[in-house]
Structure 1
Amino acid sequence: MARLDHTLSFLLICSFILSITNPSFSCPVPCETELTLRFYLRRVVAGPSRDQEQIVASPYPKGFGQIVVNDWSILDAPESNATIIARGEGMQLQASRAGNRWFNYVSIVFKEDRFRGSTLIAMGITQWAIVGGTGQFASAHGTIKLGIFRETNVETYVQLDIHVFSTPETVTSASTADE
């Protein structure tokens, strides 16, 4: 039994030394990455560029219970002619009887080259929890802080401060052969 304890201790020490000298030994699968990103969500509530639509009206005061679907532009700057980085596709539910507190469930679908085809799934009211993702954001978790950057009676620019941890998917020889 003592010999087994010494052997296990020796293996543990060797593994520790290898992980210090070569980080790939400490992470045999793709390691989790951390990113901080800032984008701007553009929400248009009226006119020909409207990007959200009420699908369930509410008979309750202050709109409690109404549901709105959305397909928002997520931009690299708070301007209507900025580059579209992603689309915010999902829905909102008026979740407060006091009014103006919307629960959001949104899939952020990336369109630009760096993250093209990847998604982040987020939900929440005043701050969104990242609850999943795909592609570059596989196994994502983190938060998205929301802040009104600029607002008019037709459109609102919401600053998105994204703090995400994920384990990017890796390309395997099997998936490459199928393409």
Structure 2
Amino acid sequence: MDVAGFEFNGYSRGGPVFNHSDGVKGNLALGGELQKFRLGNEGDNGIEVNFARTFEAGGVKWKVNYMPAKWGSGDISTEQAFVEMSGFSFAPEAKFWAGQRRLRIQDVHIVDYFLLNYGDNIGAGVTDVPVGGMKLGVGLFTGDKFDGNLPNNVKAHRINADLSE
């Protein structure tokens, strides 16, 4: 949805939770990592809302994204907060970005699981670089998030490269 130049989109989920005498409140599963089927028994309620603003300056297209989320009784967290730039003369299709960006692929929706989830941390990178009929994405990430950092003795960095399409 576009309102006054801002783009809004999001996701919300909630299902009934029945309290049985044995204390079970949703989260019913058949066992195993990918066995929590999404049949209204998740036992979690939440919302994510993405706010984005796109503008152009000096021939470069800029996009600013912020996505807060609230799940269950937890605090409001930052799922995404990043700036993206595109339209450079040397790489018109490429999108350069910096911040905390969720980059998830290979979703198994019925069990609410992302087999490849290489984003979710603070970093910088580029996506949509044309390479032989495909698109290349490269990112350098820390282990930190806007809402929390790893302890100094366990700092981590990683690089990710992927081809899509």
Report the TM-score when normalising by structure 1: 0.29
Higher CA-based Rg: 1
In terms of fraction of residues, the more helix-rich structure is 1
Q: TM-score, normalised by structure 2?
A: 0.31
More strand by share: 2
